[in-house]
Amino acid sequence: MNRQRGLALSALLLWGVVIALVSIIVIRILPEVTEYYKIRQAVKAVASESSGKTVPEIRQAFGKYAEVEHVKTIGPADLDVFKEENQIVVAFAYEKRIPLIANVSLLIDFHGSSSGRNLGQ
């Protein structure tokens, strides 16, 4: 006799809820992650073009990149500009709170630098 195999309706509903919750989280997080990568790319571009520039000029250059890329999360004043091993390093750090459902939210700490190392905060 052939034995039937498959999912029960309750298991199908459970997996549907799990997939829906994961999808909601991914949809809410994805724009913030793409903005982080835009900021990181702009910081690296500004740092690579920073030879002989002052700190205000570096911040102004980042402001132009941020305006073109539509970055609203951080501004030029939020950058840390310093020298490390005779190279200019531009670093940033910020927190982003993402509301998920009702009063539940997700807090992500973003930080990066033009040196390639993440400077822990």
Determine the distance from the C-alpha atom of residue 105 to the mean position of all C-alpha atoms in its chain, rounded to a whole number.
16
The Cα 8–Cα 13 span in angstroms is: 9
Record the tokens describing residue 106, joined without a space: 């997700």
76-97 per-position pLDDT tens digit: 999 999 988 888 899 999 999 9
Domains in the chain: boundaries: 9-113
- Is the model's pLDDT at 111 over the cut of 90? yes
Contact 55, 81 (CB under 8 A): yes
pTM: 0.81
